[in-house]
Amino acid sequence: MLRQRPFIVEVLTAAALIAAPFVLPYLGFTPATVNRILVWGLFGIGFDILFGFTGLLSFGQSAFFGTGGMVAAYLLTMVNFPYVTTSLFIGMIAAGVIGYLVGLIALRRTGIYFAMITVAIAEVFFFVEFNPLSAYTGGENGLPGVPAPTLPLGFTTINFDSDASLYAFLAFWYFAGLVIALRIVRSPVGAVLRAIRDNPLRAAAVGHNIHSYKLTAFVIAAAYAGFAGGLLGIMQGFMPPDAFTFDTSGQLVMQTAIGGAGTLFGPLVGAAVWLYLSDFLQTTLHLGAAWKLVLGLVFVLLVCFLRRGIVGGFQDLYRLAIQLAVHGPAVKAEPKAAAPAADMTAEEEQKATHAALAKAPAAEPMPALSRKADASAGPILEATGLTKRYGGLVANSDIAFSVKHGECRGIIGPNGAGKTTFFKMLTCEIEPTSGRIVFDGRDITGKSVTDVCQLGLTKSYQVNQLFTRLTVRENVTISALAELRGKFRLDMFRQLPKIAGLAEQVERTLALVDLTDRADIPVAALAYGEKRRLEIGLALASSPSLLLLDEPLAGMSPRERVEMVALLKSIGQGRTMIIIDHDMGSLFELVERVTVLQEGRVLVEGTPEEIKSNKAVQEAYLGGVLEA
């Protein structure tokens, strides 16, 4: 997903880490401060994967920072365990395990409730550290006497006991942590985490087990925190109890916001700003307790004027410079058909576009992106007795519905007839109150939307559900990944381009929805009609054997409607589809049979011709609009 120039980020980081101890003192940083920045920077890498990449704001990272630090310090001081680095890893594993258990609870909720649970859990850890476990953690005294690491080389032993030598030790681990994090965010797992951040509902609907991915991010963040906590004890020669305090979690969040979330380097830069100002305001300006007030103001100003933080701001500037260098100042506009004359009515415009499309050369036939197109088999979908009640309101009542392999079915009905509710039950977004759904010979009633998508049934939404901060290509990639990798896979060190068949599937989908030229544009820059096509592209990229389209023509101009109908005709070849739409003229062009819903029930079913001439439909529902 990230454009990769192999190892450029790693090389630049290594160079910066080598140069930092020589350069930073001239800017007023003390060696001890530089070392602290590295510890906070490493702590923040894990947090950034959780917050910046996955969108989960935790205020409880101190629990893992403290746990990792205390476990490592306990081993080194109370047990006299001789291996410093091994104790760091044991602390990291302990924090990761605790992170897993906490994540199981906290991730049952989202948004503010998730954040509040993490606060509460961190407070529990703080209490436990100070009270029941004080014999192991030193209570309010912490654990003094944490030894410095050593590196035996045979002929000599390096002791990392001075600020300068400790810098080398910390910089090494920071670099290792960063390289691992870069691999993770560039992997398929990283791509899915970003999708969850942008639109968890759609990430689940295209077939990813978002709970497991969120838990993975939570454990990664806890493990980074645990390792950094261990480094804190080593750096200070003392494991302080305040590692567990809410202040620690809050400082981490603020530093990440200042530096820039979702950048990996943001927490390091934020820590540099925070710790430098803290030193400067207290030691040089002698502001005493008022230093937090000034720091608070700086935080508010930075977050208001640099919404993506310092690193994010630099990234934006860099992208802008590249864009200007490559394309010039104008953003490439959507390729459009000839604009309609200003005085044309909507009907005239639609006719003109029909004529233009009829004259246009036929598109290259695309191979179907479908798992199965076996027309000889029986029904692909069968619903019986499907009912959905919301309290006293019956949205769907005793619906019997069947669709054959390869069929293109339309569903119509007035507003509130229960069409969307019906689709939601078919894709298992909501559970029916009663009834049964059989898809491809399997009873899918009560399954999750993710599992059903993995089986080959998915839908495009009435209101676009896109991954808004990603590009068009990245959007389609998220969907294709679910089909190629299954609903959950921990391939954290695999590179996206190495996934067999991914690039082909993405390119085919883009071509199918006519977005190849717009592949590298951020979704936010697309025109509405393009967004609707991408919405369908997301559903198509998971190679469904049954595709449901909920009002694909909704909100489109007459010209966009005609183009969309042509597109749906082309993607409908060799594919089973069910389409809901209010535009009956267009829908009847597309489908072989139509089901009419009224007040949550099936009113009638038949060919478009039968529906047009059906008296019950005309009188009871359409009010004669189809008679003409």
- Residues interacting with ligand ATP, by CB under 6 A? 390, 393, 395, 413, 415-421
Residue 32: count of CB within 10 angstroms of its CB: 15
Q: Cβ 90 to ligand ATP, closest distance in Å? A: 49
Q: Cβ 392 to ligand ATP, closest distance in Å? A: 10
Q: Cβ 578 to ligand ATP, closest distance in Å? A: 13
The total number of residues shown for the chain amounts to 628
Q: Could you tell me the sign of the dihedral formed by the alpha carbons of 186, 190, 194, 195, in that order?
A: positive
Residue 612: count of CB within 10 angstroms of its CB: 17
Q: Cβ 166 to ligand ATP, closest distance in Å? A: 58
Q: Cβ 520 to ligand ATP, closest distance in Å? A: 33
- Residue closer to ligand ATP (CB basis): 156 or 415: 415
Q: Cβ 289 to ligand ATP, closest distance in Å? A: 51
- Residue closer to ligand ATP (CB basis): 229 or 413: 413
Q: Which residues pair with 578 in a beta bridge?
A: 409, 548
- Residue closer to ligand ATP (CB basis): 275 or 539: 539
Q: Cβ 580 to ligand ATP, closest distance in Å? A: 7
**Pairing state of beta strands 442-443 and 457-460?**
unpaired
- Residue closer to ligand ATP (CB basis): 276 or 423: 423
Q: Cβ 602 to ligand ATP, closest distance in Å? A: 13
- Residue closer to ligand ATP (CB basis): 107 or 587: 587
Distance CA 543, CA 426 (A): 17
- Residue closer to ligand ATP (CB basis): 250 or 416: 416
- Residue closer to ligand ATP (CB basis): 29 or 423: 423
Element (H, E) at 383: strand 379-390
- Residue closer to ligand ATP (CB basis): 395 or 534: 395
- Residue closer to ligand ATP (CB basis): 56 or 622: 622
* Relative orientation angle of helices 31-48 and 210-236, to the nearest 10 degrees: 170
Q: Cβ 390 to ligand ATP, closest distance in Å? A: 3
Cα angle vertex 268, ends 267, 269, to 5°?
Answer: 95
Are residues 571 and 536 in contact, defined by beta-carbon separation less than 8 angstroms? yes
Q: Note the Cα 171 to chain centre separation in Å.
A: 30
Q: What DSSP line would sit under 303-365, residue for residue? A: HHH-TTHHHHHHHHHHHHHHHHHHH-SSPPPPP-PPPPPTT--HHHHHHHHHHHHHHSPPPPP
Eight-class DSSP state of 148:
P
The CA distances from residue 255 to 62, 395, 618, in Å, are 14, 49, 64
Q: Which residues pair with 595 in a beta bridge?
A: 411, 605
Distance CA 239, CA 202 (A): 44
